[in-house]
Structure 1
Amino acid sequence: MNSLYIAFNMLRRTLLQKRGFLIYLLIPASLVSLIIGVAGQEKHQVDIAYVNMDRGPLGAHLVQELMLIPDYSLQEAASEDDIKEDVTKQKVGGAFVIPEGFSETLLKGAEPQVDMYQLSVSEAAVTLKIALDSILSGYQETVDVHRKQGLQEIQLQAAVEKTLSQINKHQVKARVTDLNLYVNPSMHLVIGFMLMFMMGVVNNTISVIMEDRRLRTMARTFTAPVRSIEIMLGNFLGSFLVGTLQVLVILIVTRYVAHYDYGLPFFSQFVMLEFFLLASMGIASAVAGLVKNASNLGMINSLIVTPTCMLGGCFWPITLMPDWMQKIANFVPQKWVIDAIQRMAAGHALSQMWMHMGVLTLFALILLGVGTVILNPEDAEVG
């Protein structure tokens, strides 16, 4: 019961005040939603510029077929120079030029050349190249079939145009089934900033403990039949409750207001974030026992929160770091929760994340034990 009294007292001093409500609930949810709006949402269409200098039916049909692909938004340019300028200034993701005499080249049995422009190798440019090659291959097969029938040039053109008119009906269509087995490429960034805000609860716990030291509230509490482990557990539970409410608000806002698709169930993500919160509280407990002066609180972000977030992959994928840094990342909780959430977004079940949950629990237990041992409630603030 002593721990519960301390926990509710911490809740009263944080969330039940206007400043605490803004810092721990409203601001984190708003900033994570802003990050999603800027970099989190995937762009479903890529702008593609084109110039069609062909006067025959095949050039127009090629443009029409590409327009039916939902991944592209085709924009006709006035000239080839305009296309080069748009690509250079990155106004479009790629561009292509249908040369003059494109249809005549195909009808003669020769291989046509469609020029593509791209500033760098990208997914949009590669898929556009594949789509162009596929359509051109179909044109060549159509022309070859009619040429083998011994048709003359006029008859051949009429037969090809008739075939194109049938293709335009699209009587046979392919259905693409999205199994949602991919992970949103912006996932690590959104989750990373969410974890960084959750680590702010660490500062909350330490600042409350430092205030109790300064005002000798903790010393007076310790004179009563209250042990140091009960004091630490009460601060632990209070911060955990604040962090849980923060997690719920962020998830609800980002999922149902910002409509961000994490690719995994709400409950699974909430459970993993709760385990990370446990580990964060363990860090707070250990650091609170070490920090003896409130002036040292500013060093916590530079020595604990920021470095561990960088190592854990909150700002960039861990695979981009050297091997030795990837090994060190195993000793920070951010790495384990990001890896678990990405695995579940790729199709794994929550029950398969037992190792990740176990490691995060060990973080919490070990660090909470360290904090309990080194905490001296009877001491006042040093300095």
Structure 2
Amino acid sequence: MKDILWLVQNTLRTMLKSKRSVVLFILTPLIGLFIAFLSNGGVNSTILKIGVVQEENTGLANDTVQYLKGMENVKVQKLAESQINGQLSSGKADCVITLGQGYEKSIQQGQPGHIELISIKGAQVTEYVKSYLYHYINNIAAISRISKGNAQTFNKIYADYQKPNVKVKASTLEDTSKEKGMTSQTIGYLIMIMLISAGSLSEIILKEKENRTYYRLLSTPINARKYVIANILVNLIVMVVQIVLTLVIMNIVHIHLNMPSWEMLIILLVFSLVAIGFAQVTIAFAGSTSASSALQNLFIVPTCLISGCFFPVDIMPKALQRIADFLPQHWVLETITKLQNGDLLQSVYLNFLILLAFAAVFFLIAVFKFSRNSSTKNFV
């Protein structure tokens, strides 16, 4: 045990002396966090700016403007027709609604018209406004059709519509979908960095063989098994630092996990075993650092892509979704999603067993390959 601890300390000391290693193993995981934060534009709600051109001063036109002002996350300002282009091009208005002459009469006839909606931001804005405004207008037009041209009947029904007897109590629910997306994207980048870090740290074994340091160590009481165990422990230490640092920074920038932090820590620690096991497989089959790097590049990025580390797996073709089921990264992200949706930790035990099975298979393959290889350039 003393020999193993000495090897761990020596490897960590050497790694910390290298600025490149510190950036790669400690700071790189934070890049994914900031990419996710910037690509989602933070977590603040957006205020929609609506300009209204009211060409007639009638009761229904005024009520329509008041309805727009009552919408949540909307700021309404009255404009002149000459201001439309300037307000839209400068971004001071996201869309402009024009209530033209004859607007009230068209609604009273049951055929809404003389209304125009303009936006340079496309359907993302116009569809939101239409869904509320057109529903309101169509309700009034329906009242007009029921009244069959009788102004007294229309006014009575319309007055009741404006002041309903039914009392509604509204409660605001927090929309966590954006934060969940940011969490999945951040953890997706972290998963890829963990795989790359495990591969780079495991390549130390091959590098020290190439420069003959490995064989000099074996001339001491240190044997090959102690050497490999020390490398695995270094991997674990580095990954724990990566995981904890990422979770702390996520908390500082207010990216909520929507699940207990300790559960996220457990999930990622289990995956760290998978990452280390995979790294050991690559160096077991590779005869040099260049071959090991090639193997890692061949598997890490494509599998992370397919498993949904960079974008939701649901948008991919069904065939790729089936392939994702056989990748450990997918099971990490699926476990996180279930826990974010309210599942208990004990209810996702199967996911943990699958991840542990991946780790066990990787380690067994590595051990088998080491034991079968008779070359003096391998460890066991």
1:86 to partner: Cα distance: 4.7
Match for residue 208 of structure 2?
212
In structure 2, the CA distance between the partners of 1:84 and 1:105, relative to structure 1 (3 Å rule), is farther
RMSD: 4.1
Aligned to 1:112: 112
Q: Structure 1 residues 84 and 238 mapped into 2: Cα distance closer, same or farther (>3 Å)?
A: same
Report if the CA contact (8 A) 1:28-1:194 is conserved.
yes
Structure 2 distance, partners of 1:320, 1:90, is 32
1:182 CA drift (Å):
8.2
Match of residue 185, structure 2, among 184, 189, 202: 189
Instruction: Give CA deviations for 1:110-136 in whole Å, capped at 9, x if unaligned.
Output: 342344457898565444333213433
1:81-120 matches, within 5 Å, as: 82=84, 86=88, 96-106=97-107, 108=108, 110-113=110-113, 114-116=115-117
Unaligned runs of 5+ in 1: none
Give the match for residue 234 of structure 1.
Answer: 230
Q: 1:199 aligns with which of 185, 189, 195?
A: 195
Q: State how 1:303-322 maps to structure 2 within 5 Å.
A: 303-322=298-317
* Superposed CA offset, 1:317-340 (max 9, x none): 222222222222223221111111
User: Which whole-Å CA distance do the structure 2 matches of 1:73 and 1:24 have between them?
Assistant: 47
Give SS of 1:331's match. Answer: coil
Match of 1:273 in 2: 268
Whole-Å Cα distance in 2 between the matches of residues 91 and 134 of structure 1? Answer: 26
Q: What is the letter of the counterpart of residue 213 of structure 1?
A: K
CA spacing shift, 1:172–1:318, aligned 2, 3 Å: closer
1:61 aligns with 2:63: yes
Contact 1:84 1:117 in 2 (8 A): no
CA spacing shift, 1:218–1:331, aligned 2, 3 Å: farther
Instruction: Report how far residue 279 of structure 1 moved.
Output: 0.8
What amino acid maps onto 1:131 in structure 2? Y
1:251 aligns with 2:252: no
Q: Give the direction of change, closer, same or farther, for the CA distance of 1:254–1:180 in structure 2 (3 Å limit).
A: closer
Instruction: List aligned pairs for 1:351-370, cutoff 5 A.
Output: 351-370=346-365
CA positional deviation for 1:247: 0.9
* 1:3-48 per-position Cα deviation (integer Å, ceiling 9, x unaligned): 4443333332324654433322234325522431233634622535
Cα offset, 1:361, TM superposition = 1.1
Partner of 1:285: 280
Q: In the superposition, relative to structure 1, how do residues 346 and 86 fare at CA in structure 2: closer, same or farther (>3 Å)?
A: farther
SS at match of 1:372: helix
Q: Distance in 1 between matches of 2:346 and 2:361?
A: 23
* Residue 350 (structure 1) aligned with residue 345 (structure 2): yes
Work out whether residues 83 and 95 of structure 1, in 8 Å CA contact, stay in contact via their aligned partners in 2. no
2:62 aligned partner, one-letter code: A
Q: Deviations over 1:30-81 (max 9, x none)?
A: 5522431233634622535443334224333323333333343446665499
Give the C-alpha shift of residue 287 in structure 1.
Answer: 0.9
| Cα offset, 1:355, TM superposition | 1.8
Aligned length: 372
Deviation string 1:235-290 (CA, Å, 9 cap, x unpaired) is: 1121111011011111111222x212332221222221222211111111111222
Stretch of structure 1 that moved more, 364-373 or 291-300: 291-300
The 8 Å contact of residues 278 and 364 in structure 1, kept in 2 or not, is answered as yes
Whether the aligned pair in 1 keeps the contact of 2:33 and 2:186 (CA below 8 Å) is: yes
Q: Which amino acid aligns with 2:215?
A: A
How far off its partner does 1:219 sit?
Answer: 2.6
Seen in structure 2, the aligned counterparts of structure 1 residues 61 and 371 have a Cα distance that, compared at 3 Å, is same
Distance in 2, matches of 1:244 and 1:152, equals 73
TM-score (norm 1): 0.79
Q: 1:92 & 1:232 partners in 2: Cα distance?
A: 63
Q: Cα–Cα, structure 1 residues 280 and 84, in superposed 2: closer, same or farther, change >3 Å?
A: farther
Larger relative contact order (C-alpha < 8 A, sep ≥ 6)? 1
Q: Matched residues in 1 for 2:22 and 2:77: separation? A: 48
Overall identity of the aligned pairs, in %: 20
Structure 1 residues 346 and 339, CA gap change in structure 2 (3 angstroms): same
1:231 Cα deviation after fit: 2.7
Q: State the 1:220 CA deviation.
A: 3.5
Amino acid at match of 2:37: I
* Alignment partner, residue 72 of structure 1: 74
* Aligned counterpart, 2:132: 131
| Pair 1:6 & 2:30 matched | no
CA contact (8 A) 1:15 1:24 kept: no
Kindly provide the amino acid, as one letter, of the partner of residue 257 in structure 2: Y
The correspondence for 1:331, drawn from 326, 333, 356, is: 326
2:24 maps to what in 1? 23
Matched, 1:32 2:33: yes
Letter in 2 for 1:251: L
Residue of structure 1 in register with 2:171 after alignment: 175
**Closer/same/farther in 2, CA of residues 291 and 102 from structure 1, 3 Å limit:** same
For residue 104 of structure 2, what is the amino acid of its counterpart?
S
Cα distance in structure 2, aligned partners of 1:240 and 1:266: 19
